[in-house]
């Protein structure tokens, strides 16, 4: 049996639905250097598993607008680890950006898990973010509307 490298990216896969967790696990199975350490179903189980296993990444499969997800993101954001990667159908760009603003480090649409999840996990584990480029205008609009000063151009 092949051994994982000592510095393998450890991943927790959280989600209520067994089929979604299985799809995430399958997407990561072929990736070298990644190891799934737990598969909790609920937010409470996810927090307990994050505390126990200290994974690098928590892949959270949850509806983006759910209150439970927002509470979970708030709790995980205070711990600084694991970094959170969401897997969910995107109801809207605003819902994805809201999840990112609450502490998620990326989003993979449910329909793209098989193709993109392993790459997204690697990117997020190494400090990056993962989201659709189409979200950039919404992200910029959110930054501007949150009271951050706009650059001033001197009058000529």
In a domain, residue 75? The reply is yes
65 is in which domain, residue-wise? 9-145
Beta-bridged to residue 107, according to DSSP, are 86
In a domain, residue 2? The reply is no
Task: Output b/e per residue, 56-81; b: 16+ Cβ within 10 A.
Answer: bbbbbbbebeeeebbebbeebeeeee
Which pTM does this prediction carry? 0.85
Q: How many domains does the chain have?
A: 1
In a domain, residue 156? The reply is no
As a whole number of angstroms, the distance between CA 144 and CA 123 comes to 26
As a whole number of angstroms, the distance between CA 113 and CA 143 comes to 28
Indicate whether 148 pLDDT > 80.
no
State pLDDT tens for residues 125-136.
999 999 999 888
Which residue has tokens 């990326």?
Answer: 106
CATH number, position 18: 3.40.50.2300
Quick one: CA dihedral 9, 108, 51, 18, positive or negative?
A: negative
In a domain, residue 153? The reply is no
In a domain, residue 106? The reply is yes
């Amino acid at each position: 049996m092949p051994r994982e490298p000592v510095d393998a990216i450890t991943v927790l896969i959280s989600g209520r639905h067994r089929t979604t967790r299985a799809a995430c696990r399958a997407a990561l199975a072929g990736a070298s250097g990644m190891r799934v350490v737990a598969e909790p179903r609920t937010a409470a189980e996810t927090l307990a598993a994050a505390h126990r296993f200290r994974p690098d990444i928590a892949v959270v499969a949850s509806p983006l607008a759910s209150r439970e997800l927002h509470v979970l993101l708030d709790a995980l954001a205070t711990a600084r680890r694991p970094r959170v990667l969401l897997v969910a159908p995107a109801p809207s760009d605003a819902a994805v950006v809201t999840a990112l603003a609450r502490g998620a480090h990326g989003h993979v649409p449910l329909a793209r898990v098989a193709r993109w999840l392993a790459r997204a996990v690697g990117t997020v584990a190494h400090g990056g973010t993962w989201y659709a480029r189409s979200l950039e205008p919404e992200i910029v609009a959110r930054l501007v509307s949150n009271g951050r000063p706009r650059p001033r151009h001197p009058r000529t």
